Chains A and B, each alone.
Chain A
Amino acid sequence: MGYRVSSIIARRRHPAAGYAAIAGGLVLAGALYGALAGGPASAAPGQSSASPANGRSLFIQSCATCHGINAQGTSQAPSLIGAGAAAVDFQMSTGRMPAKEPGAENTRKPVTFSPQQIADIAAWIQSLGGGPTIPDATQVSTSGADTALGEELFSTNCAQCHNAGGSGGALTYGKSAPSLVASTPTQIYEAMVTGPEAMPVFGDGTITPDEKRAIIAYITQTRTEANPGGFSLGRTGTVTEGIVAWLAGLGFLVLIAMWLTAKRKDMRIGGEGS
C-alpha cells in the first residue's frame, strides 16, 4: 500500500497529471450532480369528476392576477373565455401555467398542480364559454394509426418548427418550438387543437381526428425507436456531426500522429547523451 501511494506521489509532476486530476474532478462532479439532481416530475391528465366550483377558487388563487378574476383577461394575459378545457390542460399539465416570469414565451417546467386540480380548473374554464375539450383515450389512441400518413403530415405541417426528428427548434424573437420528446399523446392533441404560444391551430377541418392520431403515432414511434447507426448525437443533424468530425475524428488522429512521429527523448537530445 505504501508503495502505491509513493508511486502516485512520484508521478504527480507527470505532464499528464494535471489533465488527469481535472478529468477526474469533472467525472466526480458529474456523477455527484447526477446522483443529487432529481428526475423530472410527470403528470397524467385528470379525467374523473371535475369540480368547476373548486376550479374557480383555485383559479382565483393562482391565475386571476394575470387572467382577471372572471378569466376575462387583463393587459398581462389573454381572456380564457372560450379557450376551452384542452388549453387549460395543455398549459397546466406541461407546467407552462402558472407562468414563472414574463418572457418571450412559457416553456415546459415541473408541474405544480395535481391532475385533479387541473381538471377542476379546466372544467370551470370550459363552463365559461366552451372551446376545445380534453380528448378522450380513443381520440389519442395510436393503435392501428397510419404512421406513414403521420410522416407525410408531420413533415409538411410540423417539422419546419419542431424538426424532422421532433427535437424542437428555434423560432424568432426568443421563442422556440419545443422538443416533442416529453409530450404525452394527449398534450400533442391539445396543442394541435388549441395552438399554444406561436403554434397554429390545426382544427379538425385542417387535420382530421384520424390524421391527428396518425401524427401522434408517428411522433411517439419516432422518439422511441432505436438509433440503428449508434448514438443519436441529439438528432440535431449536421451541426453535431461536424463538431464530432473535428473534435473526435481529427482530435483523435492528431494524438495518434503525435505518437507515430514521436522520437525517443534520448535520441532527441543527441549532443548531451542520455
Chain B
Amino acid sequence: MSDDAVKIPGALSGVGGWLDDRFHGARGVRVLMKKVFPDHWSFMLGEIALWSFVILLLTGTFLALFFVPSTTDIVYHGSYTKLNGIHMSEAYASTLRISFDIRGGLLIRQIHHWAANLFMVAICAHMLRVFFTGAYRKPREVNWLIGIVLFTLGMLEGLFGYSLPDDQLSGAGLRIFEGVLQGIPIVGTYLAYFLFGGAFPGSAIVPRMYIIHVLLIPGLILALISAHLFIMFHQKHTQMPLHGNTEKNVVGQPFWPYFMLKGQAWFFFIFGALVVLSTFAQINPVWLYGPYTPLAISSASQPDWYMGLLEGALRIMPAWEINFLGHTLSLSVLIPFAVPLGLIFTGAALWPFFEAWATGDKAEHHVNDRPRNAPVRTGIGVAAISFYGVLWAEGANDVFADKLQIPLYTITWIARFAVFLVPIGAYFVTKRICLGLQRKDAELLTHGVEIGVIRQLPHGEFIEEARRLTDEEHAVVASKRIPAALPGPGKLDPNGIPEPAGRGPVGWARGVANRAFTESIVPDGHGNGHGEHNGHAVADGEHAAITGGDSGDHHG
C-alpha cells in the first residue's frame, strides 16, 4: 500500500496534530495505521475470543452491581413465588433477583453465560487453527504458550463463575472441585481447607471465588491478552500459502481503515449473535436447580462444556486407591484430574519444540502450512481431538444413556477402550488421508486439472484433456515444504561410525520421529501431463518463474 491510500479525516488529524505536538506519537500511530493484516476467515477465530472477553467484562460489571457474594442464610420472598419461604444463600437469592426482578437482568446474565461458553469455544477453535496450520512455529512459540495459559485461566474463570450463584448444580460442581483438591497427595487436604476456609461448604468459598472471578483471573487474562496481541502485532500475523505470499512479506489490508472497521463490524456481529442467542436460548436456569444443599444432587449434573473433559475422565476411572502408611492416594480422583489435561496441555506446550527438534527446522515461518502437508502434526492434532472428544462425550454419559437408550455402563466401557484406541486409530487414518491428499496435489501439479473432455488422437489413442493450474491454484498446491531428512536411526557414516546426530537413544528417537515427519508424497516428475495440449493462457516460462524452487522442475 502506498502512503496515499491512508487518508485521515480532517477532524481526526486536527486532534491528532494537537496530541502529536505534545506526545510526538504520530510516527507510532502511522506505523499502527499502516500495519498490514492478512485476511482469512480462520484468522478471526481468536478475535471471537477477544470480543467475547470484552462482552464478558461489560456484562459482568452489570451483574456485579446486583450480585451479593455471600452465603448468609435468608428466607426467599420474591417474584419467583414457587420458592417463597425457602432458606437460601444471599448469593442464590440475588441471582434470582437478577433473573426475575432486575430489568434486563436475565438477558444480561444469559449474555454473560453464553459469552463465557463462546469465549472458550473460540479459544479452542483458534488454538486448533494455529496448531493445524503450524502457526506456532518459530518465532511464535511464546505466543502459543501464552494461549495455553489463557485457555487454562479461562477454564478456572468459568468454573468459579458458574459456581457463584450457589445453586444445586454449581454446588455439585464445587463438591467435586473440593474432592479433586483433596485428591492431591500430601497437601490436598490443606489446600481444600485453605480454599474453603474449613470444611465443605462453609461460608468463605463464595466471597473468595467472587474476588478471584471478578478481579484476579480477569486481570491476568487481560494482561495476557495484551501481551498476546502485542507479540502478534510485533511478530506480524502469519498468512496463508497463497499466490504472492512469501516468508518475507505480509499480504493483506492496512489496519486503517480496513482492518479496524472490519474488527468493529466483527465485534458487533459477535455481540449481536450473543444477544440473539441469549434472547432465544435459556442457559443455566438456576431457578429450576434450586438453592444448594449438600443433601441433594440432580441427575444429569454436568459442568459447562470446557470442564467436560475432566468430568468424563472422572466417570471412566475405576475406583482405585492406594493406602500407604496411613495415607490414602486417591488414584480414582488424582489420575482423571491430572493425566488427561496434563497430557493435552503439556503436550501442546512442548509440541513446537518437539517438532523443531524432530525436523531439525530452525527457520522462521510466516507462511502457514496446509494441514495435509504436515501429516504427523495433523494426525497428532486429530488424535488429541478424538482423545478430548471421547472424554468429553463420556462426561455426558448419563445424558446419552437416557436420550439414546444405551445402557450407562455400556457407554462407560466403550469409552474406557475408546479413550486409548480411537486416538491411535485417528492418528493413522488422518495421516493416510493427508498423504492421499498430497498424492492428489502431486497429480494436480504434474497432470493438471481434468476438464472433462476426452480427445482421440489421429492414431487412435484417447487422452483426457487437462488444464494447467492457475498461478493462484499453483501457489496453494505447491506450498508444501518437506523437512530435511536427518540421519536415520542407527545409520552409519562411511567410516562405520554412527552419525553424530543419531547417537544414543535420544538420537535414535530423533531419527524415528524425523522419518515420520519427512514422509511425504513427491510429484513423480514423469507425469508432465497432458496439460500442454489445452492452450492455457499461462506460459510455462512464466509459470516456472513464479513457483520457482522445488517444484518448478516438474513444469519445465
Contact = CB atoms under 8 A, between A and B. Distances in A.
Given A235-B288, A238-B304, A250 B121 contact: yes
- A-B pairs, top 5 by smallest CB distance, nearest first, are A242-B305, A169-B299, A229-B282, A170-B401, A164-B298
A273 to B, nearest CB: 10
B85 A148 contact: yes
A199 interface: no
Given A239-B396, A241-B305, A249-B277, A159 B298 contact: yes
Interface residues of A, number: 64
Count chain A CB atoms within 10 A of each CB in B118, B285, B538 and give the residue with the most.
B285
Interface string B387-405: 0000000001111011101
A218 interface: yes
Interface string B274-289: 1001111111110011
B176 interface: no
30 contacts: A151-B82, A159-B290, A163-B300, A165-B285, A165-B288, A167-B300, A169-B402, A170-B401, A174-B405, A176-B402, A222-B288, A228-B106, A231-B280, A231-B281, A237-B300, A237-B301, A238-B304, A241-B117, A242-B305, A244-B281, A248-B277, A249-B117, A250-B122, A252-B273, A253-B270, A257-B48, A260-B41, A260-B262, A261-B39, A268-B472
Given A170-B398, A260-B265, A236 B117 contact: no
Interface string A58-74: 00000000000000000
Contacts of B45: 254, 257
Interface in B326-358: none
Interface string B77-95: 0000111111000000000
B39 to A, nearest CB: 5
Interface in A134-169: 146-149, 151-152, 155-156, 159-165, 167-169
Interface of B: 39-45, 48, 76, 81-86, 99-100, 106, 110, 114, 117-118, 121-122, 125, 168-169, 262, 265-266, 269-270, 273-274, 277-285, 288-290, 293, 295-305, 308, 396-399, 401-403, 405, 407-409, 470-472, 537-538
A164 B168 contact: yes
A176 B411 CA distance: 14
Contact of B300 (A236, A246, A258): A236
B296 A159 contact: yes
B117 A242 contact: yes
Contacts of A28: none
A254 to B, nearest CB: 7
A225 interface: yes
Given A261-B39, A271-B470, 6 more contacts: A170-B408, A249-B274, A252-B273, A260-B262, A272-B470, A272-B537
A242 B114 CA distance: 9
A171 interface: yes
B279 A230 contact: yes
A146 B83 CA distance: 9
Nearest to A149: B85
A17 interface: no
Contact of A245 (B269, B270, B293, B305): B305
A260 B290 CA distance: 43
A151 B295 CA distance: 13
Contacts, number: 206
A6 interface: no
Contacts of B300: 163, 167, 169, 236-237, 239
Contact residues of A: prevailing secondary structure: helix
Given A228-B106, A237-B169, A241-B117, A163 B298 contact: yes
A104 B407 contact: yes
B298 A155 contact: yes
B537 to A, nearest CB: 6
A168 B82 contact: no
Interface in A157-197: 159-165, 167-174, 176-177
A221 interface: yes
Interface string A40-80: 00000000000000000000000000000000000000000
B470 A269 contact: yes
A230 B121 contact: no
B201 to A, nearest CB: 15
Contacts of A165: 285, 288
A232 B121 CA distance: 21
Contacts of A248: 277, 281
Nearest to B266: A260
A266 to B, nearest CB: 12
Contact of A238 (B274, B305, B397): B305
B471 A271 contact: yes
Contacts of B117: 241-242, 245, 249
B284 A241 contact: yes
Contact of B282 (A148, A218, A227, A238): A227
A155 B82 contact: no
Contacts of A172: 407-409
Contacts of B408: 170-174
A29 interface: no
B297 A230 contact: no
Contacts of B84: 148
Contacts of B289: 164
Contacts of A147: 81-83
A258 B281 contact: no
Contact of B293 (A156, A162, A222, A250): A156
A161 B277 contact: no
Contacts of B42: 257
A233 interface: yes
A256 interface: yes
